[in-house]
Amino acid sequence: MKKKLKSMEPADNSAVLSDDPAAQEEADLLRAYEQEIFARSEKHHNGPLLLSARDVVVRFNLRGQELTAIRSTSLDVYEGETLAIVGESGSGKSVFTKTFIGMLDKNGRIDGGELFFHGEDMAKYTTEEQWLKVRGKKIAMVFQDPMTSLNPVRTIGEQIAEVIMWHFGKSHEEAKAETIELLKKVGIHDPEKRYKQYPGEFSGGMRQRVVIATAIACRPEILICDEPTTALDVTVQAQVLDLIKSLQKELKMSVVFITHDLGVVANIADWVAVMYAGKIVEYGTANEIFKSPEHPYTKALLRSLPQLGTKGHDLYSIQGTPPSLFKQITGDAFAPRNTDAMKIDFEEEPPVFPVTDTHWARTWLLSPQAESYRASLLARDAEQQKNAVPETPFDYTNAEKLITVRDLTVRFKMGGSTFKAVNGVSFDIFKGETLSLVGESGSGKTTIGRAIMRIYTGNVGGEVTFKGSKITGKLSRQDKKKLHMEMQMIFQDPMASLNERAKVDYIISEGLYNYHLYESEEDRVAKVENILTEVGLTSEFISRFPHEFSGGQRQRIGIARSLVMNPDFLVADEPISALDVSIRAQVINLLNKMKKERSLTYLFIAHDLSAVRFISDRIAVIHKGHLVELAPCEELFAHPLHPYTKALLSAVPYPDPDSERNKVLIPYDPAMHDYSSDKPVWTEITPGHFIYGNTKELEGYRREAEA
Amino acid sequence: MTKYILKRILRSLVTVVIVFFVVFMLLRFMPLNGYFPDEMVKEADEATRMAYLRNLGLLDHPLVQLGRFVKNLFKGDLGRSITVYPKVPIATLLVEKIPVTAFLGFWSMLLGIVAGLSMGLMMVRFRSRIGDTLGNGYIMFVRAVPSLLYLFFIQIQISKWFNLPLVYYDDKPLSWILPIVSLALSSIAWYALWLRRFMVDEENQDYVKFATVKGLPKKQVLKKHVFRNAIIPLSAYLPSDLLNIISGSLVIETLYAIPGTGGLLTTAIKNQDNNLVQILVLMYAVVSILGVFLGDLLLAFVDPRIKLTDD
Amino acid sequence: MNLPENKLRTLQKSLEKDPALFTPAAFSLAESEKTGASNYSYWKSTLRTFFRSKSVVVLCAVVAAILVMSFLYPLFSSVDPTKVSINPLDWNHRPSLEHPFGTDGLGRDIFARAWYGCRNSFILAFCIALSDVGIGMIMGALWGYNKKLDPIMIEIYNIMTNVPSTVYLVLLAYIMNTSYLTLFISMASRGWIVEARFFRNRILSIRDAEYNIASQCLGTPMRRIATRNIIPHIISLIIMEAALCIPYSIGSEVFLGFVGVGMPVDAITLGNMVNHGRASFTLHPYQMLLPAAVLCIITIAFYFLGNKFADASDPRNHV
Amino acid sequence: MKSVLKRVLAALIVLSMGLTAMVACDKPVDPANAAADAQEILESKEYRDTYKTYFSTSYSSLNYFSTSYATVREIVTNCIDGLVEPDVYGNYVASLAESWEHNDDYTVWTFKIREGLKWVDHTGAETEYALTAEDFVDGIKYIGDPLNGAYSLRVVRNLIAGLYDYYWGLDDIDCGLDTETNRADLEASFSDIVGVKALDEYTVQYTLESSAPYFLSLIESSMLLLPVEYEYAMALGEDFGVDNTKMLYCGPYYVSEFKRDKLIKLTKNENYWDADKVTLNTVEYQMIPDGTTSLEMFQRGELDYTSVETEAYQSLQNGEWADNLIPNEFSFSTNYLWLDFSGANPEYNTFVQNENFRKALQHAVNRTSLGALREPVDPARLVRNTINAEGAIFNSEGVDYTQLEPLANVTNADYSKDPAAARTYMEAAIAELCNEDGTIKGVSAGTVDYLPVIKTEVDGKLPVTLIYVGTDDEDEIILAQLFEAMVEEAIGKDYIDVELAFDTSGDFYGTVGGSVDGPFNYDIYWDSLSTGYADPSGILGRITTEGVENVGAYNVPEYDALVEKALSAETFDERLEYFAQAEAFLLEGAYMIPVISSLRGYHMSYEIPFTGPRCLYGNVRYKGVKVATEALTMDEYEVLEAAWTAGKNK
């Protein structure tokens, strides 16, 4: 069976010539047909075709195994527009674009297909010299992490100028002048002075601007941006996106934008390619992809966004985890996770089906033969959407205070001087609610969580009470034990939060061992197995090591580890931000389910406002160690008062191209506050709505709130 | 920054003082017999021995001795050697010996750095090829083979082949070549080894990939980015070679009859020449701590990320 | 469609499938949870990477052979390595069938001495590696975990690395007579501080890892954090450091002998053999060269294997 | 480095009267034609006026009074003349003293100093300081002050009348025992107390404590009897002799260059009284610490002299330098085994008191095997049974001291001939000292603490545990191992168990000597003593029961009595008779066991032998030495030696 299937997969194995002339002819035909569909969109593009990837196959040798990262994928890049490639980690989006500039890792190779650029097939390039003509000059690239993309020990000026000098053979002086121009162009003030500075003296956003300036130094025809904003804070992200957009227009270059964030896609993309398991499964204009997705994966992805969910109900979630690319994939790679899959999805690789001239997808659903089934699915979804009614907001009238935080201050020593990561923060957490703490990286949100969890002790000022008793400062053994059983934490990075060298059994039992919370060995195993089932994993996982699991599964193991202690209160420290979109919904649903079943209270720490809105009852916004605003969820979204909150909200990408294109960023400059004489205070301005400001500002806020 | 440097100097001073004090006290625990020349142990009677010890001031309380030593030190009097160079002022000895060792040491350090770094660069440039294999072979050889074997060979055979003098003469530059090369052999290996290791580490960094993506040729990426970063950790170690420069090598100085400081400390300790040991330890401690300090300064100089502030 | 009519028809036909296939398929949760993660195992990968190099395999075999020889030869051979001949005619024989490595200046069989020497040197080196790495690791862990210890330990480090080893060693030699124990103490009492610093730096980098904070949140006692969270993560470093420690110890034996805290001078060790062979090197080079060759092989093998293991244990190289 | 020092020393101690030492020569030289042949050789040579040699251990200081290192003598003996000097045949002739006389019992020696001599400085220029009798008195005054820390003072301090009292008088003041005497007063009374006087400006007189017929040889061998310009030395204080500029010279050479640990250059003193006889203009000493290097440099023509180790000798034997290898002929230094009679090892301590046991040891040691370690070619020439070397001391009839009865028996005995004798003696000892069951009478099991060298357990039973202590010098380790093997083989492992222990501190006497006043930590050790001047008392006087060198703490009143008799003997011949009796008594009782001489190795040189003064006691004087442009061959050496011997006997 398998063998037969293999020969029926012309797309996957285009390089392999079939012995069977009929099958060969069929494959050729299919290929011609696909070319035809790809070509249809040509007239809808702004400019001519620049780069054309055809049936590219990329394989990696990984620990003796063969991994097919790109499974025969084609893509066209046209001049002067932005093409976004969306996909989750491991989908191959990054690897795919790396082939455009010959930057595959050493253990990877292009194993088939062509890459046409200026009439040459770059897939055949073998020497460095050939690539030197392309890299930087014709095709440039911006990496994800601006913190590591720049050489820390050379001035940014040198790093930009060297490109100009090398590619254009210009003198040092000329290159410098040009560099300063570039810096100006990417929005760096005082470029003459900045020219001589080192990357360490720039903030993340500024560095990314420098990286972009370097990339565009040679006026490349194509700029590949590999998740350029993922590592940035929302407000900065919005600015960088704006910059890329404006540069793209100004320089009339093509931008290939790789991201997993659909909101960003909506913001920036003219065209979108959705990639799953090493293959582009859907392609179309941004509007088409967002408004009328056809591939089940694209659909599911969009539906699982928390922005689109209804509060109190489960988010639509994609089951399971992405497939292993070490194995031969038969049929539609997404089929095993697709609850509505058809039998054919498991049997045969779907070909490309055109939707419009500019939109195509690889799904059997578009086959004329599946028309009726497709219609029934559409109808069902519409029905579900209609029935969703948001739950009533949390009732605070009789709420019992579980935790009070008063004037919490956390100090850190940094190079001899101490700085306050958290500065005089006060708030309450009521039993049964979800309080979200939102802020940018470095704002102190995680520190608050850890201070409550007593991970920081010596450097903590102020007071925290739990169920009425003080938990800061020295505690007896008994009290500590009680706290360990009643308060638990979930961590951000599922890769780092599980001990790689311990089995799942030990990881989950760790707390049980610590306080001997089981009667017998069988009892302990039963407890572990129960909790595993509860978080949606099977009990057979008990004897495995963490590395055998995917990110989502690991995060669920982390949750199980906390829940097995039966806590009342959970600090969830960015539990979903490191997860892929398709996995986030699972974890959010799980957290919500656990909250209901076990009447938990959450302190939810996040930087992603979209997910926060879906799950929280109240939101606290933190900026540079100060809480600036705290209000019930909907109140905050409807009537943000503090300028920082407003800026934050305005910057949040929303997965709708229409709203994203028209969105206006509200800038926030901390210098606008004049706290020199009039000291700010934390005030409850309307019932339940707290804000940080001085008397003058408060007055303004009050007026605004009333209006 | 000034404050930082002052603070560092102060802390270094504390370390030096502690080191010195420890050594000073350790020396006072040495057996009294060690102070006598051989014939004295055999022939001299109790009274003669005591007279001898008393003349050296060794019968006083250690703290009294310490006080005397420190007082003289501040007067600029380093004292006289006791047993190794009887009665010779230590200052004279140091003035005679350090320049010789330091001169050869300096050039060998220079050779070590230049040749070592070039070799490391070559090994990275031709990674997994013959250049790398040769370099690795050399490093292995130097680390594994007892140094005396090849040092001996260099002195006797190489000098024959190239018609170079067998021993060092301060007025024959040709005779400096072999000692300098011999001294540099292990540091060449050291620099090559670590440069290679650091460069290989750096090669995986994002900024190196970004530099490649910028379209710079590999050679330039290696030179301007990888090398530039890889020498940062090395530069911190560089000044610690200062100590090697002035402390010399016993074996090489013996082979080439170099009148330097090599093995001076060991000899002084074995002969229990307290005065000499104290001064040498003090000097070496100061130099080695100075080396660490200079290493930090140099590090801050080559690495803009490092700011010289407290802690 | 620009395709010719007949081809188009063939295409359409090929795209047409069994209609029964266009019906919903059963969904299996287990199938969907089949991980995309590979079946990566740290130790397997480490070992595979390690043994992929042919030279590693060869050197491992050589080391194993030398180890087996060193420990079995003294058990099964009847040749007495200390048997001195008072007849000068038996002295300084060149290598022959009877004496594969020849005899030394007192007619003792160098071949036998070489294996006894290997064994003694190995035992000592293993002990030193064990104590250096062991103590170093424990102190390094304490140092890394306890910030208050930092200034004290740094000062100890500075002092220990600045007090000339000769001062200390000569004094030690005065207090104790030369024996394996003295040598062991003199090496072990200094070696640990360097290891401690190494492990401290490593431990610092995993101390604040989230899984350790998780353990803290669960109230896991320090002892278990060390045994379950820390040590498994640095075990490969421990192995590597120990492997690199062995040639270092064997090499230092020579220097320490010079200072006077070496092995008992008449003990059979590789260091002593090389040292003593040096005197008669010009006339009887084999007396030094053969033991020196064994010494070099051991040193090179351990350095090489240690470094290769370090490379192999680095997950970045697991490709 | 210690061994290197010894080797070089040994190599330098080349002596003429090697009558008993058989040089490996295959064709005998006809003594009749020797003089003519020698003349032919000397005339065929071309000569030069520079000589390049080397030293292997640092010349730490040039202060000839307070430097312990024997090597500095070589410099000093060429730069500071004594009262007398040996001539080509080793007879004492006038040097700074024009003439001398002594009283009948050799206790008062009066020297007439050459007039009008001046000290020169390091540039060779004459200084204002005249060389007078007072300078010799001042030499004694200098060493008589404990603060000046003169080394090896004992012999001279005990010999010169009053010096002992003067020295300790000053010392008592210094350490506060004597608070009544004023130091300056005591110093001022030097000439009253001490038996050395300047009778006039050019006459110095020594009054001795005891009869010293050998006084002239002491002048040759001891640096302590050299003159000094007191005013100059005192002005410099501790700086005196620190380098060449802090010295004054009165010998055939002055030190014109002194690069510490690198180079010492002697330049001919043009103002020397006997400048015409000085053949070499410069003598250059380079420091070459490594033996192989010096050999290599000699072969490349960069040195005029090199010692050749036995190992190197064998490899050179078949090469181009084979003809030039000349054996070092003789050494006055004797290696012997010191037995400890007061050690902490009860088993050994019981046995060592027994003469049979000591004789067992004496017979167990195979001297030829031991000799073969150093001299594989002709080990027998090293064998020596006496403490004082043969060829060093002669009575008025020219009979060698070692051939005097009854010492001749010892000298000519062959202890190694019958190894079975060792076991026989041991059985006799056991019969006296052990019970039937093999336990040693009066000895119980216990711990022997010879720390820091060794600590071990003894069981109080046979075999007897004997702890041999040596230094960690490679050669000495091998020697010890061989000793162990032969003792255990000759006596039998069932009777004796030799344990080896090595001191690794590099300070053998410091460690083995234990604490300042503690017992010595050994049962047996290997040591050497050297005949320092032409009188057996130099060694024998030191090893009496109360003697300072009696570290083994034996108690032999018979020997003491004989030494006493010898010292108070009327004539020199009588003195030698008694000494021979004493030495024979000690050795026949095997209280100490001399084994071999310290002789070792060979040398190659451009120097023509027998052209310079024959210094007997370790010095090398270059006054009159001829240096050829070609290396000397063994054949030439033999002819020259024969001619010299003939000349001397005339």
pLDDT in tens, A314-339: 888 888 888 888 888 888 889 888 88
Q: How far apart are CA A129 and CA A123, in angstroms?
A: 14
Residue A366's alpha-carbon distances to A12, A350, A474, A540, in angstroms, are 20, 9, 65, 38
Residue D385's alpha-carbon distances to A567, D268, D363, D592, in angstroms, are 95, 43, 11, 10
CB-based burial label for A214 (10 Å; 0-12, 13-18, 19+): buried
| pLDDT of amino acid A59 | 92
The mean per-residue pLDDT over the stretch D598-607 comes to 88
- In this prediction, what percent of chain A has a pLDDT beyond 70? 97
Same domain flag for D506 and D452:
yes
Q: Of D474, D598, D375, which is closest to residue C104 (Cα–Cα)?
A: D474
- H or E segment at D307? strand D305-308
Closest CA–CA distance from residue C97 to any residue of chain B (Å): 27
Q: Is the peptide bond before A643 cis (omega within 30 degrees of 0)?
A: no
| pLDDT of amino acid C171 | 66
The mean per-residue pLDDT over the stretch D503-524 comes to 64
Which residues on chain A are in Cβ contact (under 8 Å) with B310? 415-417
Residue of D243, D290, D510 lying closest to B36 (CB–CB) = D510
Q: What is the pLDDT of residues D39-72, one digit of tens each?
A: 888 888 899 999 999 988 888 788 888 766 566 7
Exposure letters D266-288 (e unless 16+ CB within 10 A, then b): bbbbebbbbeeebbbebbbbbbb
Considering only residues A390 and B130, tell me which one the structure prediction assigns the higher pLDDT.
Answer: B130
D touches which chains (3+ CB pairs under 8 A)? Answer: B, C
Highest mean pLDDT among C27-36, C183-192, D184-193, D390-399: D184-193
Q: How far apart are CA D627 and CA D337, in angstroms?
A: 40
Which of these ranges, A565-569, A691-695, C188-192, D589-593, has the smallest mean pLDDT?
Answer: C188-192
Considering only residues C145 and D504, tell me which one the structure prediction assigns the higher pLDDT.
Answer: C145
A7 pLDDT higher than 70 = no
Domain covering A2-138+222-381: architecture: 3-Layer(aba) Sandwich (3.40)
Residue of C84, C260, C282 lying closest to D482 (CB–CB) = C84
Two tokens, residue B210: 């970004």
| pLDDT of amino acid D267 | 95
| pLDDT of amino acid D560 | 93
pLDDT bracket for residue D470 (50, 70, 90):
confident
Q: How far apart are CA A251 and CA A80, in angstroms?
A: 8
Which residues have CB under 8 Å from D470's CB, separation 6+?
Answer: D476, D477, D479, D480, D500, D501, D502, D503, D525, D526
Which residues have CB under 8 Å from A237's CB, separation 6+?
Answer: A229, A264, A651, A653
| pLDDT of amino acid A46 | 83
B touches which chains (3+ CB pairs under 8 A)? Answer: A, C, D
Output the domain CATH number for residue C240.
1.10.3720.10
Q: What is the pLDDT of residues A94-117, one digit of tens each?
A: 999 999 998 888 888 998 899 999
| pLDDT of amino acid D310 | 75
Residue of B214, B232, B309 lying closest to A416 (CB–CB) = B309
Number of domains, chain D: 3
| pLDDT of amino acid D522 | 82
Check if C208 contacts A (Cβ < 8 Å). no
Which residues on chain C are in Cβ contact (under 8 Å) with A553? 33, 35
Q: Which class is domain B96-302?
A: mainly alpha
Residue B137: how many CB atoms within 10 A of its CB?
A: 11
DSSP β-ladder status, D282-287 and D50-55: parallel
Which of these ranges, A243-252, D526-535, D577-586, has the smallest mean pLDDT?
Answer: D526-535
Which residues have CB under 8 Å from A638's CB, separation 6+?
Answer: none
pLDDT bracket for residue A155 (50, 70, 90):
very high
A8 pLDDT higher than 70 = no
Same domain flag for D12 and D103:
no
Which residues on chain A are in Cβ contact (under 8 Å) with C37? 321, 324, 547-550
Residue C119 lies in a domain: yes
Domain containing D10 equals: 1-45+634-650
One of 3.40.50.300, 3.90.1150.10, 3.40.50.2000, 3.30.470.20 is the CATH number of A401-639, namely 3.40.50.300
| pLDDT of amino acid D628 | 92
| pLDDT of amino acid C164 | 64
Residue A78: how many CB atoms within 10 A of its CB?
A: 20
Which residues on chain C are in Cβ contact (under 8 Å) with D481? 82, 84, 106, 266
Considering only residues D271 and D571, tell me which one the structure prediction assigns the higher pLDDT.
Answer: D271
Contact A311, A391 (CB under 8 A): yes
DSSP β-ladder status, A626-632 and D47-48: unpaired
| pLDDT of amino acid D19 | 35
The mean per-residue pLDDT over the stretch D345-373 comes to 90
Same domain flag for D226 and D341:
no
CB contact under 8 A, B212 and A103: yes
Q: Hey, what amino acid is at B233?
A: P
| pLDDT of amino acid D23 | 41
Q: What is the pLDDT of residues A526-566, one digit of tens each?
A: 999 999 888 888 887 888 888 878 788 889 899 999 999 88
Residue C209 lies in a domain: yes
CB contact under 8 A, A132 and B206: no
pLDDT bracket for residue D338 (50, 70, 90):
confident
Segment 23-62 of chain B within 8 Å of chain A by CB:
none
Segment 60-79 of chain C within 8 Å of chain A by CB:
none
Q: What is the pLDDT of residues A434-476, one digit of tens each?
A: 999 998 888 889 999 999 998 888 888 899 999 988 988 888 8
Residue of A145, A162, A198 lying closest to B224 (CB–CB) = A162
Task: Give chain D's count of helices (H) and strands (E).
Answer: 23, 25
CB contact under 8 A, B18 and C170: no
CB contact under 8 A, C84 and D484: yes
Tell me the pLDDT of chain D averaged across its residues: 85
CB contact under 8 A, C300 and B148: no
CB-based burial label for D414 (10 Å; 0-12, 13-18, 19+): exposed
Q: What is the pLDDT of residues B290-307, one digit of tens each?
A: 888 888 888 888 888 877
CB-based burial label for A274 (10 Å; 0-12, 13-18, 19+): buried
| pLDDT of amino acid A15 | 42
Check if B33 contacts D (Cβ < 8 Å). yes
pLDDT bracket for residue C263 (50, 70, 90):
low
Probe site for chain B from A104, A151, A198, A226 (most B CB atoms < 10 A): A151
A17 pLDDT higher than 60 = no
pLDDT bracket for residue A180 (50, 70, 90):
very high
DSSP assignment letter at D650: -
| pLDDT of amino acid B272 | 79
Residue of D292, D478, D505 lying closest to C174 (CB–CB) = D505
DSSP assignment letter at B225: I
Residue C290 lies in a domain: yes
Q: Is the peptide bond before C291 cis (omega within 30 degrees of 0)?
A: no
Output the domain CATH number for residue D453.
3.10.105.10
Same domain flag for D140 and D37:
no
pLDDT bracket for residue D363 (50, 70, 90):
very high
Considering only residues D618 and D138, tell me which one the structure prediction assigns the higher pLDDT.
Answer: D138
| pLDDT of amino acid D41 | 87
Closest CA–CA distance from residue D481 to any residue of chain C (Å): 7
Residue of C nearest to D366 (CA): C86
Check if A279 contacts C (Cβ < 8 Å). no
Residue of C nearest to B141 (CA): C300
| pLDDT of amino acid D21 | 39
A touches which chains (3+ CB pairs under 8 A)? Answer: B, C
Residue of D nearest to C276 (CA): D474
- In this prediction, what percent of chain A has a pLDDT beyond 90? 37
Q: How far apart are CA D196 and CA B262, in angstroms?
A: 45
Q: What is the pLDDT of residues B160-194, one digit of tens each?
A: 899 899 899 988 999 999 999 999 998 999 899 88
Same domain flag for D357 and D420:
yes
| pLDDT of amino acid C170 | 66
Which residues on chain C are in Cβ contact (under 8 Å) with D506? 260
Q: How far apart are CA D316 and CA D307, in angstroms?
A: 12
Probe site for chain B from D261, D296, D592 (most B CB atoms < 10 A): D261
Domain containing C201 equals: 58-75+101-317
Check if A672 contacts B (Cβ < 8 Å). no
Give every strand in the sheet of D282-287, ordered side by side.
Answer: D50-55, D282-287, D263-268, D253-259
Which of these ranges, A136-145, D162-171, D249-258, D310-319, has the smallest mean pLDDT?
Answer: D310-319
The torsion angles phi and psi of D375, rounded to 5 degrees, stand at -140, 80
D113 pLDDT higher than 90 = yes
CB-based burial label for D428 (10 Å; 0-12, 13-18, 19+): middle
Tell me the pLDDT of chain A averaged across its residues: 87
Q: What is the pLDDT of residues B185-203, one digit of tens each?
A: 989 998 998 899 889 888 8
Structural domain boundaries in chain A: 2-138+222-381, 147-219, 401-639
Domain boundary pick from D192, D213, D240: D240
Which of these ranges, A232-246, D42-56, D109-123, D510-524, has the smallest mean pLDDT?
Answer: D510-524
CB contact under 8 A, A338 and C45: no
Contact D217, D159 (CB under 8 A): no
pLDDT bracket for residue B254 (50, 70, 90):
confident
pLDDT bracket for residue A9 (50, 70, 90):
very low
Task: Say what the ipTM of the complex is.
Answer: 0.81
Q: Is the dihedral angle over the CA atoms A94, A100, A102, A107 positive or is it negative?
A: positive
Contact A42, A49 (CB under 8 A): yes
C37 pLDDT higher than 90 = no
| pLDDT of amino acid D154 | 78
